[in-house]
Amino acid sequence: MAEMTSTTDWRAGMTVELDGVPTLVVESNHIKPGKGPAFVRARLKNLISGAIYERTFRSAEKIPAALVERHDMTYLYESDGQYHLMDSESYEQMAVAGAAIGDQRRFLQEGMTLVVTQHKGTIVDVELPTTIETEVTQTEPGIKGDTVSNTTKPAVIDTGATVPVPLFIERGERIRVDTRTGAYVGRA
């Protein structure tokens, strides 16, 4: 039988099993209203579908913990919509559907180390590093003297993704990009 966790002990990053589905606790707030019993409002991520939703639980409600394994894997290449990864310890290779990686796949670079979450032998979630260093391959030239703050222009990076960058960034420059939001962080 699976280990049970109390909703009052939930912290961001924990995995629980709701309705037979491994679910990541994104955020958890214990609320004690003036009247009535305390409850826990949680933001959750379904690790199979990737859907993020909110749900309310009774305080101290017991929920089974999901047995997941997290380990580092190296991204090798993409072929026919399958993303090939290699385990950093055993050198075993496996293919993952693009749905497991989600929208972040536009920032994948060969040789990148990813954190992979497996549930019952199936990859259910793939995390990229928070920021990546990349090269700007295409952008409009900056206009000299244009120093308006918070003005951006689109730039194509070496992974093929388009990100908004400040006007002073030129083609060939190396920049850092946040993989969660696709935002420019700074020069590399």
Q: Is the pTM of this model over 0.75?
A: no
Can you read off the two tokens belonging to residue 40?
Answer: 């826990």
Q: Are 39 and 58 in contact (CB under 8 A)?
A: yes
pLDDT attached to residue 157 = 94
Distance CA 37, CA 33 (A): 7
pLDDT attached to residue 184 = 92
Give pLDDT < 50 ranges for the chain: none
pLDDT attached to residue 27 = 93
Q: Which amino acid is at 15?
A: T
What are the chain's domains? 4-64 (2.30.30.30), 68-127 (2.40.50.140), 131-187 (2.40.50.140)
In 88-151, the DSSP E strands lie at: 93-97, 113-119, 122-127, 131-139
Q: What is the pLDDT of residues 87-100, one digit of tens each?
A: 888 899 988 888 77
